[in-house]
Chain A
């Protein structure tokens, strides 16, 4: 019985250590990626849990094997159990590290989460009937699809029985896509299936009828609305909220990413002490604390859909508090000068009137005429000044 207790104790300790390792892995991954890798976190938890279960199984198997052999001494049995369990543990830890490395490579990439290749792609069909020489059609895609594009052309003046049609992507002809198109019901038809699985597959697909007519299908993720062209201005040492919003008519993205523009392109921002990201379905906010002059520049928010990321950009300008202070002080000085000038002017006029009145104000009439002459007005106002 005591050996069983010992065995249970060992198991518990091992489980604890695995749990500790698991927790450490969780916190590490959280620090690295923020909220956006919840999926892989679950994977890790699952694996960690799986490991614990494995360990449990292994330990119980070992103890059962050992107990069936009936070792001579209790201590011997304990040692044997420990060595077996140690073997298992090293094996499991090895497994753990391998899976950890696996997770690391998954998280640092700035691409959409990988698809499960075994699930069948959703089928989508798009078609267009062309009457003129060319047309562009926009196709908004959220998730990977198997897209069937159908082009129909009514033909030009002379309608040859056969013309060559081909498909091109982003201007470059797709290999082996040239076919001879026959005239059916006075129309030419071209049809092709494309597998759109990732962002690289998006772009402009065109069906070309013998160089005479062309229909472009532009495949893209839902675009952001008009981005604000005015920068957000904030101050050194302050904290600022950089928002990004998707139009209400667009579908909710899976998640949001934030990027900072640098010399080599975009660099993803990881939430931490300086940055915090708050996501809310169609809105996202990046909060930057303790602003420095280096924080000025372009920031990009990316709405992540299954098949790609749509970018919006916001510019941040960080200025020191002295910048608005300078015009303010200029205005303050100007106000003081104006007020002083007006009051001094008034005082000087009244002084003049005192002296003028002293020299004989009898000529000046009492009436304040509504004309523009200030003389009589000044004298009477002097005489009857209200303090």
Chain B
């Protein structure tokens, strides 16, 4: 199936105005989603002492939360398609708040697994997907910039929440801190309130299925159930796998996620093994986060430019290659100064990739198929994310040397980047061929019937092709 979408966008997205408030809301939402599992680890020492469990049992809380956040993707996308982003983000914020508040009364580790891990993770997954989807609805021309700004929420909240959590822990203990953190997460509800629903001019035929469900509430339970099942199947849409571009993107991003998180987890341990003292080793991660904060919007700005926007998939593969080489070069350096430089470049590479990772998917899929696509991508990304750091840890245990970890991660990411680059060239080539075939076929039809005004459609590939040949035309509005 070529990316020329069957459902063209019937309205022109705002690309500004209230859209920037939506970006702020998405910033908050995504910030909590990515930062919370990481900053919770500050409490783990205290919780471990009070509940008397081992450190690996406690660390499982973070893993369960991350897994639930990614695995909840398809459900979240389905709900957003049905109800719109606003109620879903508000519900997600409520769930997160409730999860932290109930966790503050916990007396056993299983209780914490359920409260923080499952309920919190579900809340965060609702937040994450809904925020991404609404950005794709509100922006087209400035979408890379909007994505970059929204994704910058992750390092910003990480840098803010980490010292704040320390402060809370010292003053209120871990129970009080979880309670107050729950209150803070309720701000996702505020973010949800900002996400005003996007107006749809009229229901295009693709929504007929949901529409019939809405219009026939009394039509008997069995019919409803059948429709729901059909809906469910539709939202875990395996037909997306027929899309070449999607499969290429998926493979590239799986390879990236596999190698991306392990260096973060092991960076301070590696620094300590090189003789750096503990405080400076922890400082490396803050440097990385700080650089990340500025790189993400910057990358969005670059990706938005006339030069890069049509070739954004290549820019994405460049970012992956940059990241991979960064990791490959790390074991060569031994001194602290060079480790700082590595942390800076790591921050740059990491920020670039994450600013583009969802923008590229939106670019490939278009605003209509993006919700389903993002749900599928997040649930598939769950596996490399959970497998990556333990596999790297295994390497460290077997060889007793951190350099193999960096070599593995770097090579996996580099291969992913190169794969994306090559396959994208091939993909565009094939798309061009298909387009030319289509154009010739429609030319024949045009001679028989008048061409219906398509207005502003959103065939991303079409735009891109046009842009590649004629950059000025991407800016024209109708």
Binding site for B on A (CB under 8 A): 230-235, 240-241, 243, 285, 319, 321, 323-325, 327-328, 331-332, 335, 338-339, 342-343, 346, 367-372, 374, 377, 380-381, 383-387
Residues of A within 8 A of B196 (CB): 346
Give the contact stretch, choosing among B9-17, B267-275, B458-466.
B9-17
Q: Within 8 Å of chain A (Cβ to Cβ): is B18?
A: yes
Residues of B within 8 A of A367 (CB): 12, 477-478
Per-residue CB contact flags for chain B residues 181-201 toward chain A (1 = under 8 Å, else 0) read: 011101101100110111111
Ordered by A's residue number, 6 sampled pairs between the chains whose C-beta atoms are within 8 Å are A233-B170, A325-B179, A331-B184, A335-B186, A367-B478, A370-B15
B380 → A minimal CB distance (Å): 30
A235 and B197 within 8 A (CB): no
A319 and B17 within 8 A (CB): no
Residues of B within 8 A of A377 (CB): 14, 17-18
Q: Within 8 Å of chain A (Cβ to Cβ): is B176?
A: yes
B14 and A240 within 8 A (CB): no
Residues of A within 8 A of B197 (CB): 385-387
Q: Within 8 Å of chain A (Cβ to Cβ): is B173?
A: yes
Given known pairs A328-B183, A335-B189, A370-B16, the reply for A380 and B199 (CB within 8 Å) is: yes
A384-B204 Cα distance, complex, nearest whole Å: 13
A323-B176 Cα distance, complex, nearest whole Å: 8
A8 → B minimal CB distance (Å): 52
B193 and A381 within 8 A (CB): no
Binding site for A on B (CB under 8 A): 11-12, 14-18, 46, 49-50, 52, 84, 90, 141-142, 169-173, 175-177, 179-180, 182-184, 186-187, 189-190, 193-194, 196-202, 477-478
A328-B100 Cα distance, complex, nearest whole Å: 12
A370-B142 Cα distance, complex, nearest whole Å: 10
Q: Which chain A residue shows the least CB distance to B101?
A: A328
Contact partner of B180 (CB less than 8 A), chosen from A327, A343, A369, A374, is A327
A142-B136 Cα distance, complex, nearest whole Å: 69
A348 → B minimal CB distance (Å): 13
Given known pairs A233-B172, A335-B189, the reply for A368 and B200 (CB within 8 Å) is: no
A335 and B190 within 8 A (CB): yes
A324 and B84 within 8 A (CB): no
Contact partner of A335 (CB less than 8 A), chosen from B17, B176, B183, B199, is B183
A332-B18 Cα distance, complex, nearest whole Å: 25
B183 and A331 within 8 A (CB): yes
Residues of A within 8 A of B18 (CB): 374, 377
Pick from B90, B141, B477 the residue with the most CB of A within 10 Å. Answer: B477
Residues of B within 8 A of A331 (CB): 180, 183-184, 186
B177 and A241 within 8 A (CB): no
B50 → A minimal CB distance (Å): 6
| Further 7 A-B residue pairs, CB within 8 A, beyond A230-B169, A241-B50, A377-B14 | A323-B176, A328-B179, A331-B184, A335-B189, A367-B12, A369-B477, A372-B17
B395 → A minimal CB distance (Å): 25
A230 and B179 within 8 A (CB): no
A233-B14 Cα distance, complex, nearest whole Å: 50
A386-B204 Cα distance, complex, nearest whole Å: 13
Contact partner of B52 (CB less than 8 A), chosen from A241, A327, A335, A372, is A241
B49 and A370 within 8 A (CB): no
